[in-house]
Structure 1
Amino acid sequence: MDNALVSIVTPVYKAEKYIKETIQSVLNQTYENFELILIDDCSPDNSAIVIKDIAKKDSRIKYVKLEKNSGAAVARNKGIELAQGRYIAFIDSDDKWYPEKLDKQINFMEDNKVAFTYTKFEMINDDGSLKNEAAKLPEKLNYKGLLKNTAIACSTVVIDRKLIGDFSMPLVRKGQDTATWLKILRNYEYAYLVNQTLNQYRLVEGSLSSNKIQAIQRTWNTYRNIEQLSLISALYYLSHSLVNAFLRRI
């Protein structure tokens, strides 16, 4: 069987420091049938120059600039809209993949006939040094399981559009990735873990993802305003989510 095309979507904003390393981790993939769609969210730095220079050497890299700064959800949705592949994958502009990431994940999906997968990941510091080794993650998550354990990192996800159908991310500035997984899991039974460490998730000082209080607020907003859970249900699932987040790090 010929390898199906994988469309990889990356929103780009103030990514000049890391984007070359991120792109190189994609170009190093042993699974070679992909397109990397980089959506420039009107980044004020030199990200565009870095991307265009690399794109000259590899036609699989696609660069698109939005007309105005609109946030990661709009950028990712533009990438999904332009995607030509059966599979949609995501990598943030400061994260990195191990070379066998797509190979192992796509093979797992095809062998097991599943449409939504995620992988283990390790956390790295701003300079790329290891901060935390990969934590144990659930083997599979359904809708209620994900509410209790928001363990799916965006840069680890691959989705089979042939089985899931078309999808888009809710237009919120924060937490649109988890909100998307929840939306998919309303109609598709499980997301499945590829139980290998295939992604490096960079904790950049001052970023949204590095601020624990903002992370809690983001999760709360998802529960109350997007999923429209009752106050009691939101408190119930948030408490489980916090406990599971703590247990992942011990």
Structure 2
Amino acid sequence: MNNYLLNPLVSIIIPCFNAEDFVELAIRSIMEQSYSNMEIIVLNDQSTDNTGKILKKLASEDSRIIYIENEKNIKLVDTLNKGLLLCNGKYIARMDADDVSRIDRIQKQVEFLEKNPDIAILGSAMQIFGEGIKEKELLNPTKHERIIAKMFVASPLFHPTIMIRKELVDNGIFKYDKNFFRVEDYHLWVKLSTEKVKFANLPDVLLDYRFLTNSETRLGEKNLAERIESHSKIYEIILHNNNISLNKDEIYLYTKTMSKNWIDETISLNCILNIYNKIINQSENKLIKEYLAKRWIYFLFRTKNFSIIEIKKIITSFITYIGIYSIIKDKFK
């Protein structure tokens, strides 16, 4: 049988900007993969440090590396979209310039996609490490139905772990939107969920994610107003897609319950409870209700100011029972 069919070409996109401290380790983790039929597309977005020099050195060592230098700094979203159009593989994988892929990452993802032709986008678990944090494994739901449900409260795939079928790019539906800068991946998953694209996550840890205080995600977290606004736009799309009606003020308040850094202690707990109940009452999906109920419980743990009346209402609320039951059930899986 044709070797291409047995071992299809995989394109790896690695956008790079001022990553001299980590980029060699990141790219070598791809060069040393157990799966070898790859093209490694590294895109230097006009780095001002030694990133370009390191990338050129690595390209001289490995003919699979394709070095691209942007004519000007075009930022992450445009660099990713540029990289997508350069890919020739049957599958396309993402990788950041400061993370480390486990040696069997590409092999496991290719094997899964070859065996499951209905899955178009595949992520995995990852381990977080880095500056001043305790290493821990981060998991996402593995099944499509749960991935779709989790979109109501958070991004259900870890962006640097994904592998997709190139046909999504060829069909013009896989493209990042720079109007959702720093949450471009989350927005894309939501958009693709309406295109009948099927998702999955492997339970295996296939990537070590480096926590950096100056990463795009961390920089986004520092600009709270911008980040809350971006997420509000995403939740507005999700709710609309599911025929759930909230006004803009309610969507904004709902968004502020999604992170401990966004919680406003001046907002009435009763008001938040009413918003959650409003969503649950308009949804017939049990998994969506489960994720919302768990998020409600996490929100309660992060909130400090309860009145006696509010405590009584919380205790007797159906969403509280669902949330506690779901969290306990998850612990004993």
- Secondary structure of the corresponding residue to residue 131 of structure 1: coil
Q: Which of 143, 148, 168 is the aligned partner of 2:175?
A: 168
Work out whether 1:111 is the aligned partner of 2:118. Answer: no
Give CA-to-partner distance per residue, 1:119-175, whole Å, 9 cap, x none: 00001115xx98322133212344453232324221100111236734211124322
Of the three residues 54, 59, 68, the one matched with 1:55 is 59
Computed over aligned residues only, the root mean square deviation of the Cα atoms, in angstroms, reads 2.8
Alpha carbons 1:35, 1:62 under 8 Å: kept? yes
CA distance in 1, matches of 2:70, 2:253: 37
SS at match of 1:120: strand
Q: Which runs of 5+ in 1 are unaligned?
A: none
Q: Which has the higher helix share?
A: 2
How far residue 228 of structure 1 moved from its aligned partner, in angstroms, is 4.6
Structure 2 SS opposite 1:134? strand
Structure 2 CA distance, aligned partners of 1:209 and 1:106? 28
Relative CO higher for 1 or 2, CA cutoff 8 Å, sep ≥ 6? 1
Contact 1:12 1:41 in 2 (8 A): yes
Q: Does 1:207 align with 2:207?
A: no
- For residue 39 of structure 2, the aligned residue among 35, 41, 50 is 35
Q: Does 1:3 align with 2:7?
A: yes
Of the structure 1 ranges 176-185 and 150-159, higher mean CA displacement relative to structure 2 is found in: 176-185
Greater gyration radius: 2
Contact 1:143 1:189 in 2 (8 A): no
Letter in 2 for 1:222: S
* Alpha-carbon distance, 1:217 to partner: 5.2
Between the two proteins, what is the percent identity of the paired residues?
Answer: 26
Higher strand share: 1
Query: Structure 1 CA distance, aligned partners of 2:226 and 2:99?
Result: 20
Structure 2: runs of 5 or more not aligned:
238-246, 261-294, 303-326
> Normalization by structure 2: what TM-score?
0.66
CA–CA distance in 2 between the matches of 1:218 and 1:178? Answer: 15
Instruction: Return the match for 1:94 from 72, 93, 98.
Output: 98
- Equivalenced residue count is 246
After TM superposition, the structure 1 = structure 2 runs for residues 1-250 of structure 1, keeping only pairs within 5 Å, are 1-113=5-117, 114-126=119-131, 131-140=134-143, 141-162=146-167, 165-166=171-172, 167-172=174-179, 173-210=181-218, 213-214=221-222, 220-225=228-233, 228-229=236-237, 231=248, 232-233=250-251, 235-236=253-254, 239=257, 243=295
Q: CA deviation at 1:74?
A: 0.6
| C-alpha contact (below 8 Å) 2:157/2:201 kept by paired residues | no
